[in-house]
C-alpha cells in the first residue's frame, strides 16, 4: 500500500495558479469522490486553503502520474506539473505534520491551518473516503499540532494571514490606524481575525460587510464596528481608507468598473485594497486606476519573513516533535497486524485534537 501527497503551495505556485485549483469546503466531498474513482485510490483526503491545495492518497499501485489527479480539480486547461511537489511514505507523513502544525505555512505557527486540516479530514471521513491509514495519519497529525502549540512558542506574535494583513495596513499608514477607517468584506475566520487585530490597534472605525447581514452585524457589534449590507459594499468603500477582502467566493466580486465608481465618489482619494482571499476577490486590473493600490496574499511575504526570524529558535523543537511522532506512526503502520488493530474513528474523537 502506497501513501503519498501531491500538491502545490505558495512556495511553488503564485496565487493566480492556486486559485484555479482551490476547492470550497462545501465541495470537498464531491471532488474527493470523483478523485478517488478517477485515480483508483483506496483512501483520499483533499486539503485546500488560501495557500495550498494537496491530495493525500493511499493506493495499492499508483497507476497514473500523480499530477494527473489535478486535472480533475480544475475546470481550466493548464499544465500544473511544474508547480507540483510529490512525497511518499515517511516524507508524506512528516509533510502533513508540518502543514498541520503551521510550520509549512506562510505565517509560521499559524493556528487556522489546524482547523482547516481537521475540516478537510472530517469531510473525507463523512464521505467514506478515508480508511485505516488516513484515519490514523490525520488523527496523529492533529494531536501532534496540539503538542507543538503546547510545548513550544512557535505561535507567538502574528500567527494568521489576517493579523499580517493588519500589520501591512499599519505599515501603509506608518503604524497609526487611529484616524483611519478600515472595511472588511467577508466575516469568516480571516475576516474575524482582521477585525480583532484592528480593534487592538485602535482603528478609528471598522466597517464589516458580508453576504449574511446577521453575521456582519454580530462581528461588527463584538468589536464596536458598523455592519454594511453586502449589496451596499461599494457605498461603504467610499468611506474607507483600507479595504480587506476575504470572502471565499469562487468568483471575483470587485471589478475595475466597480472601483472606478468608488474612486469617482471619493474624489480620487487614495484607496488601499488588501485581498487575502483565494480565489481572489478583486480583479487585478483595478490597480491600473489612479490612486488605487492593490495587495494580495502573496504580497504579505516580506512581513512574514521578518516574523519567521523571531521564531527560528522554536523551529528545531517543533521539527524534533514531528520527527518523533512520524517515526512512531510509521512503526505502527509497519506492524504485521496493523489492519486488525485499527478501529474506525469514534464520533467526537477529534474534538480536542485541534483545540
Burial label for 205, CB within 10 Å (0-12, 13-18, 19+), is middle
> How far is Cα 105 from Cα 122, in angstroms, rounded to an integer?
21
Coil, helix or strand at residue 127 = coil
Domain residue spans of the chain:
2-156+311-341, 161-304
Measured at the CA of 164, the angle between CA 162 and CA 168, to 5 degrees, comes to: 115
- Looking at CATH, the fold of the domain delimited by 161-304 is given as Rossmann fold (3.40.50)
Q: 50, 194, 233, 318: which is the annotated catalytic residue?
A: 50
Q: Is the model's pLDDT at 55 over the cut of 90?
A: yes
* Residues 134-176 pLDDT 10s: 999 999 999 999 999 999 988 766 557 777 888 788 787 776 7
pLDDT at 166: 80
Longest dimension (CA), the chain: 73
Contact 282, 234 (CB under 8 A): no
CA distances from 259 to 168, 248, 311 (A): 21, 20, 39
pLDDT at 352: 43
Q: Has 50 been annotated as catalytic?
A: yes
* Residues 322-337 pLDDT 10s: 999 999 999 999 887 6
Give the position of cell 457605498: 235
pLDDT at 134: 97
Q: Quickly list H helices, 53-111.
A: 69-73, 90-100
pLDDT at 198: 80
Helix, strand, coil shares, percent, the chain, to 5: 50, 15, 35
Q: For the chain, give the percent of residues with pLDDT over 70.
A: 90
What grid cell was written down for 52?
495550498
Mean pLDDT (the chain) is 86
What grid cell was written down for 258?
466597480
Query: What is the Cα Rg of the chain in Å?
Result: 21
Q: Please report how the helices 112-126 and 90-100 are oriented relative to each other, as an axis angle in degrees rounded to 10.
A: 120
CATH class of 2-156+311-341: alpha beta
The DSSP element (H or E) to which 185 belongs, if any, is strand 181-185
pLDDT band of residue 355 (cuts 50, 70, 90) is: very low
Q: Quickly list H helices, 152-174.
A: 161-172
Q: What is the arithmetic mean of pLDDT over 97-119?
A: 91
pLDDT band of residue 341 (cuts 50, 70, 90) is: low
Q: Is the model's pLDDT at 348 over the cut of 80?
A: no
**Among 184, 178, 168, 285, which Cα is nearest to 236's?**
184
Amino acid at each position: 500500500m502506497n501513501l503519498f501527497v501531491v500538491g502545490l503551495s505558495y512556495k511553488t505556485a503564485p496565487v493566480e495558479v492556486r486559485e484555479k485549483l482551490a476547492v470550497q469546503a462545501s465541495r470537498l466531498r464531491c471532488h474527493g469522490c470523483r478523485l478517488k474513482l478517477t485515480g483508483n485510490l483506496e483512501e483520499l483526503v483533499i486539503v485546500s486553503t488560501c495557500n495550498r491545495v494537496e491530495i493525500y492518497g493511499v493506493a495499492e499501485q499508483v497507476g497514473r502520474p500523480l499530477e494527473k489527479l489535478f486535472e480533475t480539480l480544475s475546470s481550466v486547461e493548464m499544465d500544473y506539473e511544474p508547480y507540483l511537489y510529490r512525497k511518499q511514505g515517511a516524507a508524506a507523513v512528516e509533510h502533513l505534520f508540518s502543514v498541520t502544525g503551521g510550520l509549512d505555512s506562510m505565517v509560521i505557527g499559524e493556528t487556522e491551518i489546524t482547523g482547516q486540516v481537521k475540516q478537510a479530514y472530517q469531510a473525507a471521513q463523512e464521505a467514506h473516503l478515508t480508511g485505516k491509514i488516513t484515519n490514523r495519519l490525520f488523527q496523529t497529525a492533529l494531536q501532534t499540532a496540539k503538542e507543538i502549540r503546547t510545548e513550544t512558542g512557535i505561535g507567538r506574535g502574528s500567527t494568521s494571514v489576517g493579523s499580517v494583513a493588519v500589520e501591512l495596513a499599519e505599515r501603509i499608514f506608518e503604524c497609526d490606524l487611529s484616524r483611519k477607517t478600515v472595511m472588511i468584506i467577508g466575516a469568516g475566520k480571516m475576516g474575524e481575525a482582521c477585525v480583532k487585530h484592528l480593534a487592538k490597534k485602535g482603528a478609528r472605525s471598522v466597517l464589516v460587510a458580508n453576504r449574511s447581514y446577521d453575521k456582519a452585524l454580530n462581528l461588527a457589534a463584538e468589536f464596536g464596528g458598523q455592519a454594511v449590507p453586502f449589496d451596499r459594499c461599494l457605498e461603504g468603500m467610499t468611506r474607507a481608507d483600507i479595504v480587506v477582502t476575504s470572502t471565499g467566493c469562487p468568483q471575483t466580486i470587485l471589478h475595475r468598473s466597480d472601483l472606478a465608481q468608488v474612486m469617482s465618489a471619493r474624489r480620487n482619494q487614495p484607496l488601499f485594497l488588501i485581498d487575502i482571499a483565494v480565489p481572489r476577490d478583486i480583479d487585478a486590473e483595478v490597480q491600473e486606476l489612479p490612486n488605487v493600490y492593490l495587495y494580495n496574499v502573496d504580497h504579505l511575504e516580506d512581513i512574514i519573513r521578518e516574523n519567521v526570524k523571531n521564531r527560528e529558535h522554536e523551529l528545531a523543537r517543533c521539527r524534533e516533535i514531528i520527527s518523533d511522532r512520524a517515526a512512531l506512526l510509521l512503526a505502527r503502520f509497519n506492524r504485521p497486524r496493523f489492519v486488525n488493530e485499527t478501529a474506525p474513528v469514534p464520533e467526537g474523537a477529534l474534538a480536542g485534537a485541534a483545540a
